[in-house]
Each structure stands twice: as C-alpha cells, then as structure tokens.
Amino acid sequence: MKARFSRRDFLQASGALVVYFSAAPLVESLAAAQGPFATHPSHIDPEKLDSWLAVASDGTVTAYTGKCDFGQGMYTVQTQLVAEELCVSIQKVRLIQCDTSITPDQGTTSGSQSTPTNFNASGLGQAAATAREILAGMAAQKLGVPLQQVSIEEGVVSAKNGGRVSYGELIGGKHFDVAVSSTAKRRSPDEWKVLGHPIPSMDRAALMTGTFEFVHNVHVAGMVHGRVVRPPEIGATIAQLDDKSVAHIPGLIKVVVRNNFVGVVAEKQWQAAQAAKQLKVTWKPGPGLPPQKDFYDYLRKQPARDGMLVNSRDVDERLKSASQVLKATYVHPYQAHGSIGSSCAVADVQGDRATIWSATQSAYPTRQGISELIGIPVESVRVIFVRGSGCYGLNAADTVSYDAALLSQAVHRPVRVQLTRQDEFLSENYGAACVIEQRVGIDANGAIAVWDCETWAASMGGRPGYDRPGNVITGMLAGFEPEMVRPRSASEPSGDLRNGSNAVPSYMAGCVSGKCGGTGSVRSERVLTHAVKSPFLTGPLRSPLRLQNTFAHECFMDEISSHVGADPVAYRLKYLSEPRMLDVVKAAAKAANWEARPSPKRDAGGRGKAIGRGIACVAYEGDNGYAAMVAEVAVDPASGRVQPRRFVVAQDCGPVSNPDGLRNQIEGGTLQGMSRALGEEITWDGLKVTSIDWHTYHSLPLGIQVPEIECVLLDRPTAEATGAGETAITLVAAALGNAIFDATGARIREVPLTPDRITAALSSLHQTAGFRKHLPSAQPSPAAS
C-alpha cells in the first residue's frame, strides 16, 4: 500500500491491467488488482469521456461506473450496455465499479435509479456511445473515407473500400480528451445484439464454485480483526467500562472507545469475538420505547413534518355529499434488511490516509462520512466497493465501514470488522413503520367521488449522504446527530406532482398547479403525509414507503370494489388513465385467467380450505416502472395458515436490457415480498429490540412450498428505461391481502398477515350475525363521518 498512483498512471497502465482482468474475471481480488492510488477531490470529471472509458492497445475496454452490483445484476447488464454501445462482445469489456479513486461519482446505487441513470441519455451508456462515434470518426479519417462508409463490428471499423482499423490501433492506451456528447446517437433496441438478450449473469461460475470475492473475503497484509460492542438498546450510554475485563484474552490489541462507540481489536477474529462478548460495559439505559401494542396509535399522535402532495380543495365537501363514505386504516411494521451475511468491512487508516473496502451502496458519500468521522481530509480517503451480501437498501454496510475506520485509526493497522447478526438486527436502519388512513366517498352509482389519504411514517437517521454520519448507529454513537424530523405544517402542493413514495394512490388524477401527473382519474383528491420521529433508526428498505403505501392503496381499492359489488380488475381499470398501467393490469389478469366477479368468493367464510385470488398494481414512484400482480392463495381457516400457490406478475420497465436478469429480480422480489408480508416484523419490549436473530425475526426459508411465479414482460423498446428491482415486491402484501379476503372474507389491514391475525379476523366475522351482508369490510358510514 506504499506506492502512490494517480488515475493518469492507472489509465496508462490499464492495458496490462485489462489483460490481467480478462485472464481471471471476477475471481481475482478486485481490490488488489485495482492497486493503490492517491485521491483528488474533483479528479474524475463526469463530463469527460476518459472518466468513463479506456481502450487498451489490444482493444479491450475498461469502463468505470458509479453504480454497483449487489446481486441485482448491475455488473452484467452494465457490461452489456458498454459492449452494445461500443459494438464489441462482453468478453472485451471489464467493468470497474464504485471506487472513489477511479470511478465517477454517481451518488448512491439505490432507488431503482441505476438503469434510468446509466441506460438513458446520460451516464455510462452515453459515454460509450460517444466513444463509438469518436472512434468511427477517427477511423473514417484514417481510412480516407466519409463517415457514412464505415461500419463497426467487434471493435474493428471497416470501410467500404476494404480498409480496416481496430479500436486498439486507433486509441489503444491513449486518452480520448473529449467531453461526453449529449447528442451521440444511441443504438436503438431494434439494432441490439448484446442488450436485450438473456446473457447469463457473469458472476455465476465464481459464485457457484465458492471463489467469488465478497467484502468478507478481503485480506490485506497485516490485517487484524475488530468487533463492536453495541449498546443493548437505542439511546443507552456508557456508565462504566472495564477494559481489564478482557485483559486476559490472548491477542487482544486494544479496547477502543469513542463517546458511546465501543469496539475491540485483536489479532484473530475469534479473540476479537471473545473480547466483545466478555468486555464489561455498564450501560445507562436509554429513554425507553413506546409499547409495541399501542405503537401505531402513538405514531399518529406525534408532532410531524407534514407534506400535502395533492389537494383539490373540495375533499371535505365531497365527502359530506357522498352517498356513502368508506374508511379503513392500514398499518405496516418496522422490518429489517436482514442481509444473509452480517455486514463486514476492512479499513486501513495510516496517518492521514485511509482506504476502506466496503459493500456500501454509496462509495462517495461514505468517503465523505469517514473523512468527517475520523477527521482526515476527504481527498485522503479512498472507498473501494467490494460486493457484500444482498443489501436491499441501507443495511449495515455503511455503519460497519465506519466501525472499521474508527478501529483502524485507533490501532494503526488494517482492521476487518465483522458485525454479528445481533449487532445488525439491534440497530440497523429499519424500513419504516407506517400508518395509512383511507377514506373515499362513493356516489349513488357506486362510483368513487372523492379519495382522501393520510399517512404517518416513522423516521430517524437514514442514509448518511455526504454530511450526516450520525444517520447510522456508528456515527450516532461516536457523537454525531442523526437527522431528526423537524415538525412543520404542510404547505399547499405546487410544481409537479411528487409521488416518489407512492403516497398518492394510482387512481388519483394527481393534479398539481393545473397539471395532472397521476395515473388515475379521481379528481377530488387529497394526500397528506406526516413524517414522525421514530424511536429507532430508519432507512431505505427495498421499496421504501412505496411498499407500505401500496399495501394500503391496493387493499383499499379492493375494499371499495367489494363494497360496490364490482370485479376488482374491472373496477381498477375504470379508474386508471395511464395506458401503461391499464396494460399491465390487463396482461396480469389475462395470464392469470382472472375470473371476473366481485370479491370475496361466494363460498368465502366456510370452514374448509379456502382458495382465493387478489390483484394489485403500481406505477413505481409514479413513473419508474409499471407492474401488476395476481396472487392465488389457499387459506386454512382453522389455523389461519396461508399458502400462496401462484403469482403472475406483468411488468413494463421500458426496453428490457436483460430478460433473464429481470425475471430473476421479479421472482426474488415476489418471494421476498411474500416473506415480508407473511412473517417479518421487528419486535421490542419496553426497552429494547427483541427480534435479534433468525428465530425471532421470521424469514421464509428454502424449505417452503415455493409458489409458482409467472412473469409477463411487456417490452417497450421506444420508452425510457425504468427501474425494475423494486416493482414486484411493492405489490405482494396487497395482492396477498386481497387474495386472503377473496378466499375467506377476512380483511387483514396489518402486515405481517399472520395466522393469528387471520384466525382472529375470521372468528370476528363468524360472530357477526348475517355474515354475508357484512362483507364490505371497510367501515361504511353515512356521509360526514
């Protein structure tokens, strides 16, 4: 780690490097192969083509991206993108992901934004198209022919006069020295040879044979092992710490304390684990937690930061004049990312320089956070992304990178920190608990006259971004403040409709400042959101708030259609205006052989095994992908056990870059959504979180009866590319809730949809006289409720 290289040196050396990579794709240590660098704050200018691409003299292409792969397939599909735009095969492309010394700053890999960012008219795709145009122009000049007379195949430019020249001969090892062109022509999907095809994910062989390097496998010379000692409860502070309690442990290097951050470092991992376990720390208890059983009521009563997303200003009046008003309240618990691999990072802090090997989604922001945390200039910090286990959002990858940096700084040696499962479950940034209240006014014809929605979401901390290390537990313990909700009342909506969290139901017209940006037709509309201070740290978890809101909207739409005796698909189609939404709903219903009839089923509420189906749909973030899902379930009314049998998912995400990768995302998203819908919930007692391992936090194992999943991909080659990794998961809780209702007549408005909740709902249904007449399960009331 002694030599100092600049990016320029790297580019000059990249020919050799590329050959090295090609010889050992993904199996060799990326960290080692990328080598050490001095860093400079603004050295990678995204306007410059050389920031994105380098062509070696043998014609191989090294591409640099700020969007990285966590298992969602971005490595393969970005390689396809570069290969496609440059007219080379994927074997010629080597992709370098998220390294603050050598890749452009593309912020955070999150929010289903990698495809929109790099596959539309910007970022990596635009850079590769620019390079192709430049190379074609250079070739035409060299071959002495007009540009129109050259064609490119496999990195070789040929002229009609028979002349040929390769990329390597044109520019091998040299800089382009031009800006990325915003007008460089992109290859259209009908010309695609690499994109659009089900290229097998490139990491498969290494994964299946156990040779893939995860961040957990990074070894740095002289590396020692760290563990952390987290407070048992949020807000607890150190009362007393006895470092003599671990003095007897062989190999112990140091007990490190910084404010309320506590960690230990030892020569071997087992020694560090023993020291962390045996270290005597007395904690002064935290402020305590609101009781879980009343938590959703508590949430609604807290001061909040309010946001008004749409307000047609006639909602109260229309609710008064409606012939019926339906109301229902939905709640969703905190859930964990629960990555299969507890998070890990390696840091090497030597004097005023730091190198961090991290699975963070946010290489550049993490670099800034670490600079603040350990007090060295940001230019001297390098964060190198090395894949961790699937993260699904802000798991503990950022916080463990901070842990490693603090411990390495304290012992002046490279330190690897492995969190325990309990560390991570205790204090990760959970997906937010939410309450969503719905009201609609129905007119005499059973049509929706007005829709009113109010949401409460718990929030504290979040992504650290560039300036908030306190947003994750390590920063908070080390003395940085997490971002807190600052209560304020809502101002009236203005500008464009903001529906990034899907707080606005798909059936609303979404009219703001005279422009209707929604996907539906209900024009009397109001959506008021409240962000409420959370007692736990929160952060983005796959489909953050979008999933919670969609659960409420799509179940409620089902309640309305049931109340008016309409088929749930037909009733949805009546209120959707966006053609892409109409298409996905129709496609899912068709593929599922949807039987048009109102829910619940005629024989619902019986004692035998009940079969039902439910539908849900979403325009993810308002316009970032469209999907509809039909779920078919069997419910055992005696036990309340739900067996999902089949899911049909129709998805439109614009042009499909890799159909196999997309299917994998839909299948995985669907089953992860099923696990979250049926069993996952953070639990706590008066002081501390009690769901701290896989026995207390319930993830569906491999040994379940795996339902059939059918994907219908609606390819839209001329549309913009959208995200696709979070769309299916958004729909599962709603589709299952609706299917359970269809099967049994029991409406469960609380996730997870547990057997207990289902049997309780069924028994209260059975106790109600005239069960069939009471099927509309939202509370109907005369006007003005």
Shorter beta-carbon distance to another protein: residue 344 or 712: 344
**Residue 287 is a binding residue for another protein (CB under 8 A):** no
* Residues 525-564 within binding reach of another protein (CB under 8 A): none
735, 613 contact by CB (below 8 A)? no
Q: Which amino acid is at 631?
A: A
DSSP 123-140: HHHHHHHHHHHHHHHHHH
Could you identify the residue written with the tokens 């760290």? 226
CA torsion sign, 424 to 70 to 209 to 272? Answer: negative
**Residue 78 is a binding residue for another protein (CB under 8 A):** no
* Cα distance between residue 733 and residue 739, in whole Å: 10
* Cα distance between residue 241 and residue 238, in whole Å: 7
**Dihedral class, residue 662 (left if φ above 0, else alpha if ψ from -120 to 50, else beta):** alpha
x-marked contacts with another protein along 41-70 as a string, rule CB under 8 A: -----------------------------x
Write down the least CB distance from residue 269 to another protein, Å: 5
| Range 363-366, long-range pairs (CB < 8 A, 24+ positions) | 363/66, 363/68, 363/98, 363/99, 363/100, 363/103, 364/66, 364/100, 364/105, 364/107, 364/466, 365/107, 365/108, 365/463, 365/464, 365/465, 365/466, 366/398, 366/401, 366/464
**Residue 73 is a binding residue for another protein (CB under 8 A):** yes
Write down the least CB distance from residue 312 to another protein, Å: 40
The secondary element (H helix, E strand) that includes residue 764 is helix 755-767
Q: Which window, 211-219, 291-299, 459-467, 760-768, contacts another protein (CB under 8 A)? A: 211-219
Q: Which window, 107-115, 491-499, 512-520, 701-709, contacts another protein (CB under 8 A)? A: 701-709
* Cα distance between residue 336 and residue 539, in whole Å: 10
Shorter beta-carbon distance to another protein: residue 178 or 223: 223
**# of chain residues touching another protein (CB under 8 A):** 65
Quote the distance between the C-alpha of residue 435 and its chain's center: 21
Q: Which window, 131-139, 288-296, 548-556, 657-665, contacts another protein (CB under 8 A)? A: 657-665
Residue from 103, 15, 109, 10 nearest 55 by CA: 15
* Residues 164-203 within binding reach of another protein (CB under 8 A): 200-201, 203
Residue 209 contacts by C-beta under 8 Å, 6 or more apart in sequence? Answer: none
Write down the least CB distance from residue 661 to another protein, Å: 9
**Residue 28 is a binding residue for another protein (CB under 8 A):** no
Could you give the angle at the alpha carbon of 386 between the alpha carbons of 384 and 388, nearest 5°?
A: 140
Write down the least CB distance from residue 336 to another protein, Å: 10
Write down the least CB distance from residue 284 to another protein, Å: 28
x-marked contacts with another protein along 578-607 as a string, rule CB under 8 A: ------------------------------
* Residues 704-733 within binding reach of another protein (CB under 8 A): 704-706, 709
**Residue 644 is a binding residue for another protein (CB under 8 A):** no
Quote the distance between the C-alpha of residue 250 and its chain's center: 41
Shorter beta-carbon distance to another protein: residue 711 or 761: 711
Tell me the three state secondary structure of residue 353.
Answer: strand
Shorter beta-carbon distance to another protein: residue 160 or 268: 268
Q: What is the DSSP letter of 771?
A: G
**Residue 270 is a binding residue for another protein (CB under 8 A):** yes
Write down the least CB distance from residue 32 to another protein, Å: 12
Binding test (CB under 8 A) with another protein, winner from 33, 147, 207, 638: 207
**What is the CB neighbour count within 10 angstroms for residue 141?**
11
Tell me the three state secondary structure of residue 27.
Answer: coil
Binding test (CB under 8 A) with another protein, winner from 130, 361, 664, 722: 664
Cα→Cα distances 273→226, 270, 281, Å? 8, 5, 15
Binding test (CB under 8 A) with another protein, winner from 59, 231, 338, 568: 338
Q: Which window, 98-106, 386-394, 478-486, 528-536, contacts another protein (CB under 8 A)? A: 386-394
* Cα distance between residue 26 and residue 32, in whole Å: 12
What is the DSSP pairing of strand 61-65 with strand 53-55?
Answer: antiparallel
Please, is 597 exposed, middle or buried when counting C-beta atoms within 10 Å of its C-beta (0-12, 13-18, 19+)? middle
755, 640 contact by CB (below 8 A)? yes
* Cα distance between residue 69 and residue 340, in whole Å: 16
Q: Which window, 44-52, 482-490, 628-636, 692-700, contacts another protein (CB under 8 A)? A: 692-700
Binding test (CB under 8 A) with another protein, winner from 239, 278, 603, 694: 694
**Residue 392 is a binding residue for another protein (CB under 8 A):** yes
Binding test (CB under 8 A) with another protein, winner from 351, 703, 770, 782: 703
Q: Which window, 297-305, 381-389, 466-474, 608-616, contacts another protein (CB under 8 A)? A: 381-389
Binding test (CB under 8 A) with another protein, winner from 212, 533, 583, 591: 212
Question: Over the range 691-723, which residues count as b (16 or more CB within 10 Å of their CB) and which as e?
Answer: bbeeeebbebeeeeeebebbbbbbebeeeebbb
**Residue 342 is a binding residue for another protein (CB under 8 A):** yes
**Residue 646 is a binding residue for another protein (CB under 8 A):** no
**Residue 108 is a binding residue for another protein (CB under 8 A):** no
Binding test (CB under 8 A) with another protein, winner from 351, 701, 770, 782: 701
**Residue 126 is a binding residue for another protein (CB under 8 A):** no
* Residues 393-432 within binding reach of another protein (CB under 8 A): 418, 420-421
Binding test (CB under 8 A) with another protein, winner from 13, 19, 27, 634: 27
Query: Quick one: three-class SS letters along 709-737?
Result: EEEEECCCCCCCCCCCCCHHHHHHHHHHH
Quote the distance between the C-alpha of residue 541 and its chain's center: 6
Write down the least CB distance from residue 749 to another protein, Å: 25
Shorter beta-carbon distance to another protein: residue 305 or 646: 646
Residue from 683, 571, 657 nearest 617 by CA: 571
* Cα distance between residue 282 and residue 246, in whole Å: 14
Q: Which window, 238-246, 332-340, 479-487, 648-656, contacts another protein (CB under 8 A)? A: 332-340
Shorter beta-carbon distance to another protein: residue 622 or 669: 669
Quote the distance between the C-alpha of residue 741 and its chain's center: 29
**Residue 614 is a binding residue for another protein (CB under 8 A):** no
**Residue 339 is a binding residue for another protein (CB under 8 A):** yes
Shorter beta-carbon distance to another protein: residue 169 or 660: 660
Binding test (CB under 8 A) with another protein, winner from 23, 42, 210, 770: 210
Shorter beta-carbon distance to another protein: residue 312 or 691: 691
Assigned token pair, 123: 């970022």
Q: Which window, 480-488, 514-522, 586-594, 702-710, contacts another protein (CB under 8 A)? A: 702-710
Write down the least CB distance from residue 536 to another protein, Å: 20
Measured in degrees and rounded to the nearest 5, phi and psi for residue 358 equal -140, 145
**Residue 292 is a binding residue for another protein (CB under 8 A):** no
**Residue 21 is a binding residue for another protein (CB under 8 A):** no
**What is the CB neighbour count within 10 angstroms for residue 545?**
23
Residues, the chain: 785
x-marked contacts with another protein along 665-684 as a string, rule CB under 8 A: x-xxxxxx-xx---------
264, 299 contact by CB (below 8 A)? no
Binding test (CB under 8 A) with another protein, winner from 113, 120, 181, 217: 217
Interaction site with another protein (CB under 8 A): 27, 70-73, 200-201, 203-214, 216-217, 219, 225, 250, 268-271, 338-342, 344, 387-390, 392, 418, 420-421, 660, 664-665, 667-672, 674-675, 693-695, 699-706, 709
